[in-house]
Chains A and B, each alone.
Chain A
Amino acid sequence: MHEGGFFFQAFVYLTAAVVSVPVAKKLGLGSVLGYLIAGIIIGPFVLGLIGEEGQNVMQFAEFGIIMMLFLIGLELKPSMIWKLKGSIFGMGGAQVFTTALIVMAIAIMFGLQWKTSLALGLVLALSSTAIVLQTLHEKGLMKTDGGQNSFSVLLFQDIAIIPILAMLPLLATGHAAVHEAHGEGATQAFQAWMDGLPIWGQTIAVLGVVAGIILAGRYLVNPAFRLIALTRLREMFTAAALLLVIGITVLMGMVGLSPALGAFIAGVVLAQSEYRHELETNIEPFKGLLLGLFFISVGASIDFLVIASNPLVILELVAALIILKFLILAAIGRVFRMSFDNILLFALALAEGGEFAFVLFSFGLNNGVFEASLVNPLIAVVALSMAMTPMLVLLNEKLIQPRFGTKEMPEKVPDRIDKRSRVIVAGFGRVGSVVGRFMQANDEEATYLDADPDNVELLRKMGLQVFYGDASRSGLLEAAGAAEAELLVIAEDNTEKVVEIARTARKYFPHLEIIARASGWDDSYELIDMGVSKIYLDTLDSALRIGGDALSRLGHRKYHVRRAMNTFRRHEENHVYELAEMRHDKKELIRATKQRIEDLEQLMMDEREELHKDKNLGWDTSGHTNDEHLMRS
């Protein structure tokens, strides 16, 4: 490590991120560019605050990509993957093979051996999952056709890494450099053991691990998380979530599979778990930071010395790479009948080299596939092309689309399956469960949140979409789709929690309309002050029904009782709002309360009197015409 040690390093990285990302966002450049620029600035060629160890940091930061794929998996149900299979294998396959072959042909033309050329083609065919997904997600383009197809192709590339890694040693032309051991201790021993196995044994081990992940995700993780949730220690949940992802990484590393792919599979398996949102909430910040770190190290690893020694050649290579990949992607987009706008987005987003190129280049170097003189400038080319991607997408959005883009057709009715619900119900206790069942009965799918693991488990068994978690945390609301939802219903039993949830929602999702249950006067006032659209006095409605039933059992006409109940309810609810305004003045409060009670009495009296006074008027002579000067409504 650099002088100053770990804390100094952390200080440098965090400062760079905290300063440059908000600036980049403000300028409309997006966070990825911000991180990249920060990396360049603190890198060895500008400020020199971080040096060679940038490479080590990058290996660590690649863990962010694993987490990202885990989170992506969480958002995808197996049925969705099945739906995407055409684009994953069709488009993805077409992209990787075509690009690899054309690059190979060009490389042979430049006098390279065919083995080296093929390896080069395979490596350069890959695009950057991290940069593309982060950029598209930030711009809200993931749901478009272009975004979806980009995702499919990236997924195929992630799968393709495994056979590519297996193939590279076979393409060696020179002498393998000293084999650099990856992993340490037990992992290494296990790898040695794996290498000792015959091919069929290795295959079984690999399949066994994948099956193990799926089975564990299905049957083991839920009960385990339930036990952890019951401890009600928040940090234990975070620890368990991290353990899950790290465990998969270690396991996949042992059998030589891509950890990112393993994490993705685990994510898909857990996509239907009730702990999904809680997992997202816990992993999200780690993912964000590690990805940021990764982008910074990409920025820092751009070798300006190599570039400076041969700037023209490097720039030409960058341009050639991007243009070539762009053209191939555009052609694929045409073949798969994408619209013009989507082809542009798809082809520009995936035209760069990928982070796995770094891994594969060094792997190939160690195995004697490439020579250092070839690899060093190419690493710079890939890094530069990655740095260009956010800019290209930005360019497309700001300059190309507005001029040449066709207007998107009005959106068709969104798919109900992968659509996020429009309403979130927080609290699935006595009140929330009725709210929920009522909405379900009327075909409105809501997302339910509850903090009682037993409750959640039970309700899941009944087939409801209930998720475990504390809704007063902005992260859980976010994961439940608060950014896109329209309405939040707070039906929590715990009064203090109701106010807390409303406060969080107001603060982080001001667009979200809130209606909330309130049990006492004080929290009613607080909720009203916060701008909650409507509050429901917890016991008012059932109390009124009891009162009304009592009256009718005593012989009052039911229709009259019903109208009296309405009048009373309106009166009572207006009262809360008025008191909320003047509650800070104690004297005024008492006076107003007294006045209110008198008014109500007067109102009821008037109703009876008028009824007797003038039989000539319409049947309704009371209440409604008179209550207006007493009540504002």
Chain B
Amino acid sequence: MRLRRRGGTAGTAGTAGDATTGTGTRARIVVVGGGPVGHRVAERLRHHGHEGPVTLLDAEPGPAYHRVLLPALLDGSLTPADLHLPDLNRLPGVPGMPDVTVRHGVSAAGIDRRRQEVRTTEHDRLPYDTLVLATGARPHLPPVPGLRHASGWLIDGVTGLRSRTDCARVRGEEIVVLGGGPLGVEAAAALRRAGRRVTLVHPGPYPLDDRLDAGAGEVLTRHLAGLGVGLELGRIAAEVRPGKLALDDEWLLPWDTLLCCTGVRPRTRLAEAAGLAVRSGVLVDAEGRTSDPAVRAVGDCAEPGGSLYDGWEQAERVARSLTGGSAPHGTAARRPVFRLRVPGLTLGVLGDGKGEAGDEIVTYRDAARGRYARISLDAEGRLRAAVVTGLPQALATLTQLYAADTPLPESRLALLLGRPAPRGGPLPELPPEAVVCRCNNVTKGALASAWEEGARTQEALVEATRATTGCGSCTDDIKVLCREFAEVGS
């Protein structure tokens, strides 16, 4: 186990820092963004023994919460308190550390990189040795005519789903959800369970079509339809009118709330204004350094960024890097696991779900019970990717095997069904009632009897039983049986 640097042992670690890049356990660190990844950075800094002042600016009123669970607020399956992230100043296992200064409702208005100061929206200045940008992403709304007023503001009733405030904006009985990604699917299912009338509009052939193959897509589609979610698949929004959405086939959907779950874009305005290198996100190296080594960026605002797993791993890397630790052996981001959060439906994707050309593919389909799995294995039988629906135990087992990167046991069926594997060992012999020659309905037993009665060559067996005298495809099998009979006899 690694030694953790913390409180009393920090004397040497404090000098390990590098003044020019603002590392060291006493450096002043400002984190901009109080979402899960910004929160994680602050937590991991304390965990790894950073004793210097840490200030976290969180534009939202607080406390910090788990953003991916937001859809569960829509049907009350979770309460707001269930979403809360741990209090940074009551972290278990990290006693005796100074408090993290968390300022809710405050964000950064600008960065003065020369003076290493952040200007806040409350007009004060926060000096930093290291600044960590965790500004996240904002909902991306599709360029549909009518979605915005001429001023650029969204028309009343249109919202993304990125914050608790957005959840509170979902009003009325008729909800149209645009976008069948994870968020859209989870939100649609939750709203339907809450008794709203919900229609999900998605351009693909089935929801989550970028992650699922058609087999799993069919199960998901049926599940949503079974919940009573209206599905408009292969359709895009053509025009928004107040209370009405016109699809590209001119079908009109009424709505009280139009919920746009059509993806997100990195929030980079602050970084751009500060002159940092930005492409779609703030460009960072493996330890989160931007083009200014005193500024790091993590999570959805960074590039490369990606999933929440990527964000968490980046948070860990940045925290370790700032406390002089070594890079983690994290594999979560490289071995991603996605689970859809829809109660009553198990749906998970391991890896990219597809695997690579040349992989061995095993599929399992139990359409009547909504169970489907497609697993992709490399040449050593290790799991490269999988899509699993309706098989919770199989998903759990596969997830473990995937994380451990170990080969799967031989019986994939037993694995998928969560059963003990049938006995292995030598192959069972053909039973006597097995039909060997299909055309003439000649069983192995009939051939054995003929052998017993003196037909001791292949030709004699053919003569006695007529085996092979139809399509001839069993000729090789008769040869093999001849050898077997001879061996048994000798």
Task: Decide whether A and B are members of one complex.
Answer: no
